[in-house]
Amino acid sequence: MRINFVLPLLMRVPVGGFRVVFQYANYFASQGHRVTIIYPRRCVEDPSLSGIVKDALWPTRKRLTAGPLMPWFDFHENVRQKLVAYPDAGSVPDADATIATGWSTAKPVSELPASKGRPFYLIQHYEIWAGKKEDVDASWLLPLKKIVIAQWLIDVGHEIGATDMTHIPNGLDFSAFKLTKPVEGRKMTIVTLNHHEPFKGVPVAIEVLKNYHEIHPEVPIKMFGTMPKGSEIPDWIEYYQNPEQKVLVEDIYNGNSVYLGASRQEGWGLPPAEAMACGCTFVGTDIGGFREFAIDGENALLNPVDDVGGMVSSLRALTQDDQLRCRLATAAERSIRQFTWDRAGSAFLACLD
């Protein structure tokens, strides 16, 4: 098959939702399909003269001045990448299937002619943080076959009135995200993600860590993210800015014993899932995007959203009971391995056929 993915924009720093698309692209290509990833300058029409000029110059300027399109990801040799001004009939290649990957791409994909293939919509979040609610809801109601990564998003779709939805959980690359240091014997250390989006709950995570640090100042705490370390992050937190995947796997995930995630909402939480695959015990919030792979008391410790005291208590419990930490981490590493890209990719391909 010829398969197109339409991304919302070009993003050169690591983004979880983009990584999911790229993993699907690589899997499809490994199965002999021809895949094109399309990065538009915009997903809304701009008929102005300045817009037309910018459209004409943008692809060439980006390629000449910015280096590799996605320097943080290794693509299969049969995955093609294309810069376009706007994803319309003239810029999107003919295909058997074209897949929208965000709310802003859904309408352009729905308007493509039949020569671009059957239209699909990969839904990874309820993106009202990225667009107006009425626009996001409208994208879910378009006549597109929807691949939805989490059950809570299926539930949102039902509330909106969306139809033709299939639940396919994400996969993980276990050739990269794997256990390299034994769970037993790891010292108590905590790591968490820094992110600018409010739904990630970073201010809550910092408050949890401050409260915990007052009780256990001896426990090392680390943080990582694509952005620089801000003044809101205490000096006693070691920070990794935009770490390479090797550093992420070896030093951040395998190099720590507990991953803290205080998100208020997630589509399907990739970082905690990756950390679990690398032997971290997960302390997080009881939200739909985490419940896809985390079960309180079985392979994680989950708390209500914004429950600072509850998360501090969970961290203290792991500090005081290493057997509990090891039991949860071992169960997590085993249970997370069901989420393979072979499983997700074959299910997605079955929908495309």
Residue 56 lies in a domain: yes
Tell me what the mean pLDDT of segment 106-116 comes to.
98
Q: Rounded to an integer, what distance in angstroms lies between the CA atom of residue 42 and that of residue 342?
A: 32
Q: Domain ends where: 167, 200, 222?
A: 167
Lowest mean pLDDT among 59-68, 71-80, 230-239, 273-282: 59-68
Domain count, the chain: 2
Q: What is the pLDDT of residue 212?
A: 98
Q: What is the dihedral of CA 301, 302, 307, 313, to 10 degrees?
A: -10
- Angle at which helix 270-277 crosses helix 322-335, to 10 degrees, equals 110
Q: How confident is the model at residue 314 (pLDDT cuts 50, 70, 90)?
A: very high
Q: How confident is the model at residue 323 (pLDDT cuts 50, 70, 90)?
A: very high
Q: How confident is the model at residue 14 (pLDDT cuts 50, 70, 90)?
A: confident
Same domain? 331 vs 194: yes
Same domain? 232 vs 305: yes
Residue 150 lies in domain: 2-167
Lowest mean pLDDT among 67-71, 131-135, 251-255, 286-290: 67-71
Same domain? 282 vs 239: yes
Q: What letter represents residue 109's amino acid?
A: V
* SS3 at position 91: coil
CATH number at residue 143: 3.40.50.11090
Q: Rounded to an integer, what distance in angstroms lies between the CA atom of residue 104 and that of residue 130?
A: 9
pLDDT value at 117 more than 90 = yes
* SS3 at position 26: helix
Q: What letter represents residue 79's amino acid?
A: V
Residue 348 lies in a domain: no
* SS3 at position 29: helix
Stretch (H or E) spanning 97: strand 97-100
Q: What is the pLDDT of residue 50?
A: 73
Residue 60 lies in a domain: yes
Tell me what the mean pLDDT of segment 296-308 comes to.
98
Same domain? 151 vs 223: no
Residue 158 lies in a domain: yes
Tell me what the mean pLDDT of segment 313-320 comes to.
98
Contact by Cβ (8 Å): 112, 94: no
Q: What is the pLDDT of residue 10?
A: 87
Q: Domain ends where: 167, 202, 236?
A: 167
> Residue written as tokens 């983004």?
15
Residue 329 lies in a domain: yes
From start to end of the chain, where are the E strands?
A: 2-6, 34-40, 79-84, 97-100, 118-123, 145-148, 165-167, 190-193, 221-225, 237-241, 258-261, 281-285, 300-303
Same domain? 40 vs 95: yes
Q: What is the pLDDT of residue 55?
A: 76
Same domain? 149 vs 202: no
Same domain? 11 vs 152: yes
Same domain? 154 vs 206: no
CB burial of residue 224 (10 Å; 0-12, 13-18, 19+): buried
Query: What is the distance of C-alpha 313 from the center of its chain?
Result: 28
Residue 343 lies in a domain: no
**pTM of structure:** 0.92
Summarised one tens digit per residue, pLDDT across range 266-291 is 999 999 999 999 999 999 999 999 99
pLDDT value at 218 more than 70 = yes
Q: Domain ends where: 132, 167, 202?
A: 167
* SS3 at position 239: strand
Same domain? 332 vs 194: yes
Q: How confident is the model at residue 66 (pLDDT cuts 50, 70, 90)?
A: low
pLDDT value at 48 more than 80 = no
In sequence order, the β-bridge partners of residue 223 are 192, 239
Q: How confident is the model at residue 65 (pLDDT cuts 50, 70, 90)?
A: low
pLDDT value at 217 more than 90 = yes
Q: Rounded to an integer, what distance in angstroms lies between the CA atom of residue 139 and that of residue 123?
A: 10
Q: What letter represents residue 183's amino acid?
A: V
In sequence order, the β-bridge partners of residue 3 are 35, 97
Q: Rounded to an integer, what distance in angstroms lies between the CA atom of residue 135 and that of residue 140?
A: 9
Q: How confident is the model at residue 67 (pLDDT cuts 50, 70, 90)?
A: low
CATH number at residue 218: 3.40.50.2000
Same domain? 257 vs 294: yes
Contact by Cβ (8 Å): 303, 310: yes
pLDDT value at 93 more than 70 = yes
Summarised one tens digit per residue, pLDDT across range 145-197 is 999 999 999 999 999 999 999 999 999 999 999 999 999 999 999 999 999 99
Residue 41 lies in a domain: yes
pLDDT value at 223 more than 80 = yes
Same domain? 12 vs 58: yes
Residue 236 lies in a domain: yes
Q: What letter represents residue 196's amino acid?
A: H
Same domain? 253 vs 125: no
pLDDT value at 123 more than 70 = yes
